Amino acid sequence: MPLRTLDTLPARAGGSLAGTRVIVRCDLNVPLRDGVISDDGRVRASLPTLNALINQGARVVVCSHLGRPDGAPDPAFSLAPVAQRLSELLGKPVAFARDTVGESAHEAVAALADGDVAVLENLRFDPGETAKDDAGRREFAGRLAELGDALVSDGFGVVHRKQASVYELAELLPSAAGLLIAAEVDVLDRLTERPERPYAVVLGGSKVSDKLGVIEHLLPRVDKLLVGGGMMFTFLAAQGHKVGKSLLETDQLDTVRRYIATAQERGIELVLPVDAVVAASFAADADHVVADADALEDTPFGADGLGLDIGPRTAEQFADAIRSARRSSGTGRWACSRCRRSPPAPRPSRRRSPRSTGCPSSAGRLRRGGATARLRRRPVRAHLDRRRRQPGIPGGQTTARTGGARMGAVTTNGRRLPLIAGNWKMNLDHLQAVALVQKLHWALKDAKHEAGTVELAVFPPFTDIRTVQTLLDADKIPFSLGAQDLSAHDSGAYTGEVSGQFLAKLDCRYVIIGHSERRAYHHESDEVVAAKVQAALRHGLVPVICVGETAEDLEEHGASAVPVRQLTAALNGVAAGADIVVAYEPVWAIGSGQAATPEQAQDVCAKLREVTAAAIGGDAADRTRILYGGSVKSGNIAGFMREPDVDGALVGGASLVVDEFAAIVRYQKHVGV
């Protein structure tokens, strides 16, 4: 049966949903600590569907569960903080109903105008949502149905559950899948029915029993199967290893032994942990050590030791397996998400294969995340690549771990998340680099800058990258990291060059390609730039593609002709939906103290977005951030950022001056922005 999508909803003349009350079942089950959201990835993941409905004039009624309140109101699980965060991300008021189907809910929905949004209180405050008997769920679903004319299911983490708002409500109202669900279904179809080979799947989550159907379905289809999360201890026990007090499903041991035997018979590479993090107890401040997988009880904690995560050798082993795959996907958590502790190992394991062509996942990397406006420094799941992890990926569903759109590239009012990039060029040794990053971080903290409103990226010289990356991780500094160039080749006899593979291992997210200085001093052609763009994408890096005209070009051809030609060439052969950044740098303005006017920059950037749309698709172009670079200063940045197609700045010399660069990053504090 074909998937019903948003365009199948009962619309009025002209395709409008004006006046239609649309209930959207989201998955807003975010982590809360004292009423504060520590990871808003799932809220951000709901934005595309909500914005699509808002733009069609629907009256949007958002509902979700949060936690396990056992069928009764509990302030600790209120969706009020989620409603507030959703309002911030949408850039408009969001009404909040203090109950789910009661008087407050009816009043909130009745007050909605076209394009307005209301959030209902936690669905699980009513026992009918998760009732074991069909009648109880139907009764609650009937009361929910009174609040809407149609249902959009967009909670990917709950679509498999037989719960009132998911199952019975869909029988009572015309229903359709939201954009998140539609994208995930497309991804799953590509991953399970026509994957590229070799195909690797990473299994996480706490219990084997929760993944029985997934494992049975995947075994005939995969080439590599990597097992992490709580379920890894059942696999280790099935091999005869002692696992202490780690999570263990003894009733699934025979099932797991059968899986191991099937993998061997089919020639599937089964990658099990070779070491693990073992703690004294299930607590945030518990003592912990790393132990070999066959010696988990040979720690100071003995048979009372509790396994919480994969170890550093396993992280590297997983990373190698994923890198050697053409396609990789994963499901479930890999580590205890409630224990705050110091990570004992590097975090490469969930990074996308550099050889993978990548397919989009609507849960986004959020982030890798995460990406982002992204709360990327959450100190849990120690071995995840925090740049690319997808925050809050539900354990009950399989989700792609490969490339595609970053949810973090879109922010309030439908605008793309601004990116301020500091290109240090050939300046600063490693000690000076540390000092600059620390001072910049302190300056922004002292000014109470909100990191989630602007993404800040630094591009140090190659010799400083490792030092800066270590500092960002150790001090939990929310800056992104980039490189100033890369080789078009992955390896070989290319003296002095640096490959994308090296940069990916250093946790770089971005790489500048085609900078005017490279074109001028090193005579890089459009063909060389295009090859470097492909190299960056092969290794999961986001290319910052620089284009711009010289004074002679400007006089002879006008402002946009050369940048349009350069970008068209750079995007030749780039796959639809690719994750890129474009930087327009009028060469005549760089270092001259002069700058294009905001109107001139907008004119060129708008044309560059058209080129991007033609090359990688309209949706990807809408997500692509276009930066202005050319004598950017704190005194002129606000004017550029008011333009609709200018999404940030590529800053050169000013990025080396702490107070000046901090003022540029904080441009939103300027009057009128």
Active-site residue, selected from the candidate residues 121, 297, 524, 585:
585
Q: Which of 51, 631, 634, 636 is catalytic?
A: 631
Catalytic member of 515, 532, 539, 607: 515
Determine the residue type at 651. V
Three-class secondary structure assignment of 68-129: CCCCCCCHHHCCHHHHHHHHHHHCCCCEECCCCCCHHHHHHHHCCCCCCEEECCCHHHCCCC
Instruction: Tell me which residue has tokens 């080396």.
Output: 656
CA dist., res. 343 & res. 386, Å (int):
12
Is 104 among the residues known to form the active site? no
CB 368 within 8 A of CB 386: yes
Q: Which of 29, 361, 423, 499 is catalytic?
A: 423
**15, 558, 591, 618: which one is catalytic?**
591
C-alpha 16/C-alpha 141 separation (Å) is 26
Q: Mark whether 244 is an active-site residue.
A: no
Active-site residue flag, 15: no
Angle at 511 between CA 505 and CA 512, to 5 degrees: 160
Please give the single-letter amino acid code of residue 34: D
Among the options 517, 524, 549, 643, which is catalytic? 517
Helix pair angle (430-446, 462-474), 10° resolution: 40
Give backbone dihedrals phi and psi of 662, rounded to 5 degrees, phi first: -60, -40
515 catalytic, yes or no?
A: yes
Active site residue 591: yes
Catalytic residue among 92, 207, 425, 439: 425
| Sequence-separated (6 or more) residues with CB below 8 Å from residue 201 | 218, 222, 224, 225, 226, 328, 329, 330, 331, 398
Alpha helices, H only, 10-62? 41-45, 47-55
- The structure tokens listed for 484 are 């100033």
**Which residues neighbour 578 within 8 Å (Cβ) at sequence distance 6 or greater?**
403, 537, 616, 620
Q: In the annotation, is 631 catalytic? A: yes
Q: E strands within 184-274?
A: 199-203, 224-227, 269-271
Burial 354-376 (b: 16+ CB within 10 A, else e): bbbebbbbbbbbbbbbbbbbbbb
Q: Could you give the residue numbers annotated as active site?
A: 423, 425, 515, 517, 585, 591, 631
